[in-house]
Structure 1
Amino acid sequence: MSVQKRIFMCGIATETHDFNKYPTTLEAFTDKGLYFVQEGESLERFREGDLWFGGYLEVADSEGWQLVTGVCAFAWPWGSVTEHAFETLWARIERQLRDEAPFDGILLPLHGGMACEHLDDPVGEFVARIRRIVGRRVPIAASLDLHSNLSPQFVRDCDIICGFHTTPHIDVRQTAFRTAKLLARTLRGEIQPQCHSIHPPVLFGIDHGRTTVPHAPMFTLLKRAEVIQAEDPQLLDASFMPAYPFCDQPWTGTSAVLVMDGLSERVNDYLDEFGAEIWRTRDVLTIDIVSIDEALDAVEQTANDPRPFLLGDFTDGPYSGAYGDATAMLSALIERGTPGAVFGPLFDAEAVEQAHAGGVGAQIEVELGGKCDPRYGGGPVSGAAIVKALSDGKFIHKGPFMQGQPGDLGESALLEIGGVGVIVNPFPSQLHDREQLKLFGIRFEELNVLVSKSFNHMRADFEPPSRGLLYPDAGGVFSFNFSKFPFEKIRRPIWPLDDFEISPGDMDRC
């Protein structure tokens, strides 16, 4: 009779914007994040829906594993993680790793785009610490967001690395399933996984990982990987990381990661091919980034189409680490007198408190948004606002992104100011699911235009019924004008900050 395998699962995850001036604290992980799982906690609440844990549980059940739950914490994107936050969470993980050993394998639900006050490579350091405890013989398998910045240290210390294949991210559970299945095959002795990577000097590439049009660079890479897998069974998995560009650390940038079965004579050829393709397509974009005026012109020119127009206020997108309270787009909507417009969500706890105190129908004097850092996207919008609706902010995702998972905008309100509907809530967030709008009695299909503080995730649910999609650059902190940010630690030269050419043979690899 075989002995039950014991698998330890833990993770510290977030996406960090180093030029967001507000730090990510311990409370952002434990009280205000996407999830916080404690030692020994049941994962049953995550069994359904598109998160990492459902994929892990599916494999654990089929393999008969004992899945030992360690601390798993995911903070929403924000500024640099404090030393106190990282080390406090790590201390809990380390204690359990030592006290409850031995383990047969390690599963890591991570993001890969984290930056810390005190570490240049926190994701690599996290895995290195685990490796020092469990030794080289215990396989470590990590599931990552594709907006990861991976160091050679991280790649060396992992046996299995699997990244998302979609943006918007609608394969979170499937990525975890891929990861755990490879771990299961490893524990059965069927494979001997080894990770290899190439790191083209591109700050943000592969069209940001978008999989919304068939000609996207990500699809080209994934299809080529499928062809190679059909020809060479040693290629177990391939992941392509467009990076998260606002982490000011040495290994910020794109990468390709291959999981091979044992020693491979061809792996460097594959890395050369993928590195060359990432470099060749470094400037390809499948979205239209325009000025605010160009975006509103397009809304007006297509007004005869009854479907809503979708605008992404992406430079202030909280899920990209921005503040979520910039007002430049709102000011433009008011100035234009754009009818049937809804904007949000705007991070403004004071306005939410005013609205709930006044009640539906009340007129309140507000200073909306623009408080975090007015240099990026404008200061407060002043005026009289009417409270149109109030909500506790709780909903269940029904769109493809995070489908089935509970969501929470917090106590929130729909205000009308200058003829524009503005959803305000007490913390940075985004609109990406029609269920969020229904909280305020809004039907997306009946709008003229929705302006969401989102970059990619809104597309999964909002784009199909829309008449158009544009991304106005409204001057927020998530700007692709990278030259305005004071990078100090990233590798140089790096595109697009530097003008140079490079061949795959000269690219960093592991």
Structure 2
Amino acid sequence: MSSTDFKPRIFVCGIATETHGFNKYPTTLEAFTEKGLFFVPEHGDLQQFRDSDHYFAGYLDVAEVEGWELVVGVCAFAWPAGPVSEHAFESLWARIEKQLLTEGPFDGLLLPLHGGMACEHLDDPEGEFVRRIRQRLGRDVPLAVNLDPHANLSPQFVRDCDIICGFHTTPHTDIRAASLRSATLLARTLKGEIKPHCCSIHPPMITGLDHGRTLAEASPMRSLLERVRQLQADDPQLLDASFMASFPHADQTWTGPSAVLVMDGESDRADAYLNELGEEIWRTRDVLTIDIVSIDEALDAVEATAAQPRPFLLGDFSDCPYAGGYGDSTAMLQALIARRVAGAVFGPLFDKAAVEQAHAAGVGAEIEVALGGKCDPRFGGGPVSGIAAVRALSDGKFVHSGPYLQGQAGDLGKSALLNIEGVDVIVNSFPSQIHDREQLKLFGVIAEEMNVIVSKAFNHMRADLQPISRGLLYPDAGGIFSFNFQQFHWQKIRRPIWPLDDVEIDVAEMDRS
């Protein structure tokens, strides 16, 4: 076979989720394979993601240009919840390991991960995942990894990867672009153009970088990415950079933000870059570009601006299921009812029993309900009882039209729109969030016509809903995704660490890979 006939074989696999270490419900195998964000089995078809803002779209873009054969292993993503069970992780790994050992050799690997996973039996699951791959394939097969910026990275994980490319936006609107970056660097590696390796710095912080937000001018992430572009203009060895804001509630040894560089070969500049970037992450640790307020302050603002056009957007962030919240806290709903706020839609509220009641009764019926507040009433309140009118029913299927996950199929699950005491409440059958106008349209709700939209969301709703809103606030309604870190019983996190402890540190003392 001539060299022009060579067709690189690239293996694609991953196990990923974002874990709330204090959520009492473990992430099971079913959460990945039946109820996950997506699950692609061995030999699955990646083409279903071809025209969407998805990891696999970027991989396919490069594979077509380079003539790669993409060999698909298990790619499993679960919705955020509690620590991943040992059975779930090891079952998925066993399937991936079998294919690694029986269907090779492979010339390179593409790993769509997240970086925020925690397991019952592993302190560094992503690090263990990559370590096991290295054990089986050796150091000569290059590994290119994609990560969410809400990742907690160990120095060992960074050392074991050749290429790491995180998203550069929050809300995440560059997923395809990030996978294009990693796959392009892998292609250059296979052609012998570069010899990438990763290095990182890890300031002693639980969270940072304004949780990764990039919409505001004052965003630390935006400033750091601009600084990297300046550095790259003068240094071709600096191939890529990513900034991880952390998933702060994971409770792992390496929970916390980091900066990761991909360098071409050995560089005497890399350490200086890490010092500068690590120092900036530490300096901006108090920066917050959103307004976290009390429930009453939020509703005061809604009422004060009610005569203005467009809806007011409220993020019930402390119960955000995309951050491992239970999705059924009711404090915010109770306040909307008590204040008799007109033109309000709230949700989605996780309550499978109420969904079944509504579907059994049908549109137009009135049902007696006890809404939400069942998972752990200590965090955000117990059930809201009363008579609710069934306004609409849905199977929850939609396609994202907004910038976040654009073109991807979405699913709220079996769901319903109820009206209780004048407030429209979307109830659904698993924890989720509202971040796209298409989700509201499922129930005949036109976002632009509402007075207030309350979503159990933190960041991603901003991509589609903030541009049509008259205001945005984040009321703290007491859920488990609270930034009052002192209330949690930390067991694994390294200490001392900000803001749990008084920390003074020189950049030279910061951990690094």
Question: In the alignment, which residue of structure 2 is the partner of 1:207?
Answer: 210
Q: Deviations over 1:169-227 (max 9, x none)?
A: 01111101100000000000000001000000110100000011122110110000000
Question: In the alignment, which residue of structure 2 is the partner of 1:482?
Answer: 485
Q: Deviations over 1:230-279 (max 9, x none)?
A: 01110000000000011111011010000000000010000000000000
Find out whether 1:285 has 2:288 as its counterpart. Answer: yes
- Note the C-alpha offset of 1:499: 1.5
How far apart, in 1, do the equivalents of 2:396 and 2:115 lie? 29
Match for 1:451: what amino acid? Answer: V
Look up the SS of the partner of 2:349 in the other structure. Answer: strand
Question: In the alignment, which residue of structure 1 is the partner of 2:378?
Answer: 375
How far apart, in 1, do the equivalents of 2:106 and 2:181 lie? 20
Match for 1:328: what amino acid? Answer: A
Question: In the alignment, which residue of structure 1 is the partner of 2:504?
Answer: 501
Find out whether 1:414 has 2:420 as its counterpart. Answer: no
- Note the C-alpha offset of 1:500: 1.8
Find out whether 1:220 has 2:223 as its counterpart. Answer: yes
Question: In the alignment, which residue of structure 2 is the partner of 1:42?
Answer: 45
- Note the C-alpha offset of 1:101: 1.4
Question: In the alignment, which residue of structure 2 is the partner of 1:170?
Answer: 173
Question: In the alignment, which residue of structure 2 is the partner of 1:396?
Answer: 399
Question: In the alignment, which residue of structure 2 is the partner of 1:129?
Answer: 132
- Note the C-alpha offset of 1:455: 0.1
- Note the C-alpha offset of 1:502: 1.0
Find out whether 1:471 has 2:474 as its counterpart. Answer: yes
How far apart, in 2, do the equivalents of 1:465 and 1:182 lie? 38
- The runs of 5 or more residues in structure 1 that have no matched partner are none
How far apart, in 1, do the equivalents of 2:404 and 2:45 lie? 24
Match for 1:426: what amino acid? Answer: S
Question: In the alignment, which residue of structure 2 is the partner of 1:240?
Answer: 243
Look up the SS of the partner of 2:468 in the other structure. Answer: coil
- Structure 1 stretches of 4+ moved >3 Å: none
Look up the SS of the partner of 1:126 in the other structure. Answer: helix
| TM-score w.r.t. length of structure 2 | 0.99
How far apart, in 2, do the equivalents of 1:354 and 1:41 lie? 37
Match for 1:457: what amino acid? Answer: H
How far apart, in 2, do the equivalents of 1:35 and 1:444 lie? 27
Look up the SS of the partner of 1:237 in the other structure. Answer: strand
- Note the C-alpha offset of 1:48: 1.0
Question: In the alignment, which residue of structure 1 is the partner of 2:334?
Answer: 331
**Out of 77, 80, 96, which is 1:77 matched to?**
80
How far apart, in 2, do the equivalents of 1:306 and 1:225 lie? 40
Look up the SS of the partner of 1:414 in the other structure. Answer: strand
- Note the C-alpha offset of 1:459: 0.2
- Note the C-alpha offset of 1:33: 0.7
Match for 1:4: what amino acid? Answer: K
How far apart, in 2, do the equivalents of 1:454 and 1:41 lie? 31
1:307-318 → structure 2 map (5 Å cutoff): 307-318=310-321
Question: In the alignment, which residue of structure 1 is the partner of 2:448?
Answer: 445
Question: In the alignment, which residue of structure 2 is the partner of 1:29?
Answer: 32
Question: In the alignment, which residue of structure 1 is the partner of 2:365?
Answer: 362
| Aligned-residue identity in percent | 72
- Note the C-alpha offset of 1:145: 0.3
Look up the SS of the partner of 1:16 in the other structure. Answer: coil
How far apart, in 1, do the equivalents of 2:336 and 2:134 lie? 53
Find out whether 1:305 has 2:308 as its counterpart. Answer: yes
- Note the C-alpha offset of 1:49: 0.4
Q: Please, which moves more after superposition, 494-503 or 447-456?
A: 494-503
Find out whether 1:272 has 2:278 as its counterpart. Answer: no
Aligned residues: 510
- Note the C-alpha offset of 1:495: 0.8
How far apart, in 2, do the equivalents of 1:7 and 1:306 lie? 52
Look up the SS of the partner of 2:398 in the other structure. Answer: strand
- Note the C-alpha offset of 1:8: 0.5
Look up the SS of the partner of 2:467 in the other structure. Answer: coil
Look up the SS of the partner of 1:239 in the other structure. Answer: strand
How far apart, in 1, do the equivalents of 2:399 and 2:197 lie? 39
Look up the SS of the partner of 1:463 in the other structure. Answer: helix
Look up the SS of the partner of 2:345 in the other structure. Answer: strand
Question: In the alignment, which residue of structure 2 is the partner of 1:92?
Answer: 95
Question: In the alignment, which residue of structure 1 is the partner of 2:10?
Answer: 7
Find out whether 1:256 has 2:259 as its counterpart. Answer: yes
Look up the SS of the partner of 1:108 in the other structure. Answer: strand
Q: Deviations over 1:323-362 (max 9, x none)?
A: 0000000000000000000000000000000000111111
Match for 2:107: what amino acid? Answer: D
Question: In the alignment, which residue of structure 2 is the partner of 1:179?
Answer: 182
- Give RMSD over aligned pairs: 0.5
How far apart, in 2, do the equivalents of 1:408 and 1:149 lie? 27
How far apart, in 1, do the equivalents of 2:503 and 2:70 lie? 48
| TM-score w.r.t. length of structure 1 | 1.00
Look up the SS of the partner of 1:401 in the other structure. Answer: coil
Question: In the alignment, which residue of structure 1 is the partner of 2:159?
Answer: 156
How far apart, in 2, do the equivalents of 1:400 and 1:42 lie? 24
- The runs of 5 or more residues in structure 2 that have no matched partner are none
How far apart, in 2, do the equivalents of 1:42 and 1:315 lie? 36
How far apart, in 2, do the equivalents of 1:407 and 1:275 lie? 37
Find out whether 1:145 has 2:173 as its counterpart. Answer: no
